[in-house]
């Protein structure tokens, strides 16, 4: 496995270097995540260095966070994706969001073991299996699809691979750019 950068390859844009456009874009990110000490989260302060991309990406990510999937189920998919992609930043922030969405610390820890871990209900197993299949095979098996379709409507079924794919992209960017966790954000060992 490739070593993850221990420091940012691209530094988050510091507050004193933000022009009006950067401040406006980062202001829009406030609805997606809490700020840390009044500063934009490092994911946003890094990606805003590419304003055109940031402007288009932010609404898409926001739509997925406020989409049709129940919050707890969405967070299971994101946490499993973050774990499988080795993205401590993504993992840590979604541990926090997952707790708010109703996941227990025990469940969050169990996400690391995946769908085969004892203690999951049947649909949680399906969600974790879906994240793993999308990660490993870039597709969902007929069996997993059929299980998802027992509970989800068409919009939710469309959202599952879009969500997992989006968080793969985010994990890839976070890992490659070396975005570091803010103080107090849990890592894999916390």
Round to whole Å and give the CA distance between 59 and 76: 21
- On the 0-12 / 13-18 / 19+ scale of CB atoms within 10 A, 178 is middle
pLDDT: which is higher, 89 or 36: 89
Round to whole Å and give the CA distance between 37 and 182: 10
Check whether 33 has a pLDDT greater than 80. Answer: no
**pLDDT over 70 percentage in the chain:** 94
- Write the pLDDT tens digit of every residue in 150-182: 999 999 999 999 999 999 999 999 999 999 999
Are 37 and 31 within 8 A, CB to CB? no
Phi and psi dihedrals of 97, rounded to 5?
Answer: -65, -40
**Residues facing 39 on adjacent strands:** 36
What SS3 state is found at 39? strand
pLDDT band of 36, cuts 50, 70, 90? very low
The DSSP secondary structure of 89-155, one letter per residue, reads: HHHHHHHHHHHHTT--HHHHHHHTT-TTSTT--HHHHHHHHHHHHHHHHSS--HHHHHHHHTT--HH
What is the arithmetic mean of pLDDT over 9-26? 95
What is the arithmetic mean of pLDDT over 21-44? 74
What is the arithmetic mean of pLDDT over 109-137? 98
CA 15 to chain centre: 25
pLDDT at 190: 83
What is the arithmetic mean of pLDDT over 144-155? 98
pLDDT at 81: 98
Positive or negative CA dihedral for 188, 2, 164, 113? negative
Which residue ranges make up each domain of the chain? 18-65, 71-177
**Torsion from C-alpha of 138, 180, 107, 144, nearest 10 degrees:** -10
pLDDT at 96: 94
Positive or negative CA dihedral for 152, 75, 111, 88? positive
Are 108 and 99 within 8 A, CB to CB? yes
Neighbours of 111 (CB within 10 A): 29
DSSP 8-state secondary structure symbol assigned to residue 144:
H
pLDDT: which is higher, 28 or 56: 56
Check whether 35 has a pLDDT greater than 60. Answer: no
Strands (E), 4-66: none
pLDDT at 32: 53
Q: Which run of H or of E encompasses 170?
A: helix 154-177
Q: 71-177 is classed in which CATH architecture?
A: Up-down Bundle (1.20)
pLDDT at 28: 81
What is the arithmetic mean of pLDDT over 40-46? 91
């Amino acid at each position: 496995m490739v070593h993850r950068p221990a420091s940012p390859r691209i530094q988050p844009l510091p507050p004193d270097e933000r022009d009006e456009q950067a401040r406006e874009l980062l202001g829009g990110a406030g609805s997606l995540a809490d700020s840390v000490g009044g500063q934009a989260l490092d994911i946003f302060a890094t990606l805003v260095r590419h304003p055109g991309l940031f402007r288009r990406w932010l609404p898409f990510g926001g739509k997925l966070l406020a989409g049709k999937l129940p919050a707890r189920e969405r967070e299971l998919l994101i946490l499993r994706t973050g774990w499988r992609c080795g993205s401590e930043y993504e993992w840590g922030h979604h541990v926090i969001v997952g707790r708010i969405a109703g996941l227990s610390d025990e469940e969050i820890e169990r996400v690391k073991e995946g769908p085969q871990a004892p203690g999951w209900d049947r649909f949680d197993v399906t969600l974790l299996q879906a994240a793993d299949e999308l990660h490993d095979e870039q597709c969902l098996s007929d069996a997993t699809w059929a299980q998802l379709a027992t509970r989800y409507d068409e919009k939710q079924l469309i959202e599952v691979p879009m969500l997992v794919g989006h968080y793969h992209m985010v994990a890839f960017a976070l890992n490659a750019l070396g975005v570091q966790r803010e103080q107090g954000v849990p890592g894999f060992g916390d």
